[in-house]
Amino acid sequence: MHNNNTKIAVVGAGIIGINCALALQQKGFQVTLVDQQGIAQGCSKANAGHFATEQVFPLAEPEILWQMPKLLCDPLGPIALSPSYLLRALPWFLRFMFNARAKQRHANSMALRALNHQAIEYYQPLLRVAGAEHLLTRQGSLLVFERTDLVKITALHRQYQQAGINVQLLQKSEIAALEPNINHNITFALFFPDVAHTINPHQLCVVLADYAMKLGVCFHKAQIARIETDDHKVTLYGQAAQPLLQVDKLVLATGAWSKSIVNALGYKLPIEAERGYSYTLLNSSGLTRPVASAERKFIITPMEQGLRFAGTVEFSGLTQAANDKRAEVLYTHAQALLSNVAELTRSAPAKQQNSIWSGYRPSLPDSLPVIGQAPSHPNIYFALGHQHLGLTQGAKTGTLIAQLVANQLTDIDLQPFSIRRFN
């Protein structure tokens, strides 16, 4: 069968699904993109916009395990676990701890390095043809320190270097030369010159989706509740008995909502929603590049609309109400990092008009996504679980899925990303 006769549905129109749909359509497949909410209304909407290719270390590390009890006691701290969700999250945390072991962590880190390698370069040609190159700015990023001991910072610097990351250790005066609005309490910073950011993550999704539609992708707003499949066809159902769509192949890019749909196909998937928040201080400026705080565990990114403070992790499932206080705490943290936040707030619209948002990061305990073919369903593919790095890894994931579906050699070995690791 030629590609142009093959019909493919991609379920999930976040940054991952959009990239999969675009890459598949570029290969000549007939793609329908399906989402229950619309284009980029999930986790891809108002994230920190950081193409964080330097983040090659899995989140499970021995140090964080020791800090965990203290971290979890503070409801406004960087990591929160809703007491009512404790039992449900326990199996995920046990797997997370298992992944903190040195050998496992090293293997996961190598897989992350492979996936992050040149991930920004996968976006560049797409943004060029979509006429949206201005949405990717390559000015590097800073990881700043207030209290951490220089010995520890130097060790981290070395760790990045050993992982092949281009990184520089900066002193106060060098930091001030790059970002004059950074406060004097910042002692050192790691500078990653090769990384990039977008000034509008939502718009980036929209322009890529628009371009995909120009090439022929159809968009269908619907919730997929059930999937039936045989050797030749995949049939997608909503709540009603009659099918919504029948296709030759299916890509599931359903983010944090993936568990039930993947379980129903017969696969285990230990995915949890790590809710994160962002607070956008409108009409403000004063930064050139993303600035992340090592101790406060959040990031500030200059956006088209203003400065965005983003971060925090909350384990509370997919249905609990958002706790906007967790976003407001980010504003307080930003005041500690930047000298001009108070002044920007005074000159900006009233605080209520600044926008608070939360999104569910789709996270697996080994910090790796699932990218690959379903072992018992040759016409179903998974592209989900990109945790804190979905924006970064989106374009590369799209390319890899398109190569896989087209039976081509993939740019990297996909074995570490197989769902088999949980089954």
Ligand X SMILES: Cc1cc2nc3c(=O)[nH]c(=O)nc-3n(C[C@H](O)[C@H](O)[C@H](O)COP(=O)(O)OP(=O)(O)OC[C@H]3O[C@@H](n4cnc5c(N)ncnc54)[C@H](O)[C@@H]3O)c2cc1C
The contact set with ligand X (CB under 6 A) reads: 11-17, 34-37, 41-44, 47-50, 52, 223-224, 253-257, 261, 276-278, 310-311, 359, 361-362, 384, 386-392
- Minimum distance of ligand X from residue 172's CB (angstroms): 26
Token readout for 293 is: 């705080």
DSSP at 52 = -
Phi, psi of 380 (to 5 degrees): -120, 140
Contact yes or no for 393/116 (Cβ under 8 A): yes
CA 61 to each of CA 17, 150, 202, 416: distance values in angstroms, whole numbers, following the listed order: 30, 20, 31, 19
Contact yes or no for 355/324 (Cβ under 8 A): no
- Minimum distance of ligand X from residue 103's CB (angstroms): 26
DSSP code per residue over 126-137? HHHHTT-GGG-B
CB-based burial label for 409 (10 Å; 0-12, 13-18, 19+): exposed
The alpha carbon of residue 144 and the mean position of all alpha carbons in its chain are separated, in whole angstroms, by 21
Report d(CA 373, CA 422) in Å as an integer. Answer: 14
Among 370, 365, 366, which residue's Cα sits nearest to residue 383?
Answer: 370
Smaller CB distance to ligand X: residue 62 or 193?
A: 193
- Minimum distance of ligand X from residue 145's CB (angstroms): 19
Report d(CA 383, CA 99) in Å as an integer. Answer: 21
- Minimum distance of ligand X from residue 11's CB (angstroms): 5
- Minimum distance of ligand X from residue 216's CB (angstroms): 21
- Minimum distance of ligand X from residue 51's CB (angstroms): 7
Smaller CB distance to ligand X: residue 359 or 372?
A: 359
Smaller CB distance to ligand X: residue 55 or 284?
A: 55
Give the three-state DSSP class for 410. coil
Smaller CB distance to ligand X: residue 189 or 256?
A: 256
- Minimum distance of ligand X from residue 359's CB (angstroms): 4
DSSP code per residue over 348-365? SSPGGGSEEEEEEEEE-T
Report d(CA 338, CA 341) in Å as an integer. Answer: 6
Among 211, 290, 248, which residue's Cα sits nearest to residue 380?
Answer: 248
Neighbours of 347 (CB within 10 A): 9
Smaller CB distance to ligand X: residue 113 or 172?
A: 113
- Minimum distance of ligand X from residue 421's CB (angstroms): 18
SS3 string, 109-124, reads: HHHHHHHHCCHHHHHH
Smaller CB distance to ligand X: residue 280 or 387?
A: 387
CB-based burial label for 333 (10 Å; 0-12, 13-18, 19+): buried
Smaller CB distance to ligand X: residue 199 or 231?
A: 199
- Minimum distance of ligand X from residue 47's CB (angstroms): 3
DSSP at 408 = P
- Minimum distance of ligand X from residue 152's CB (angstroms): 24
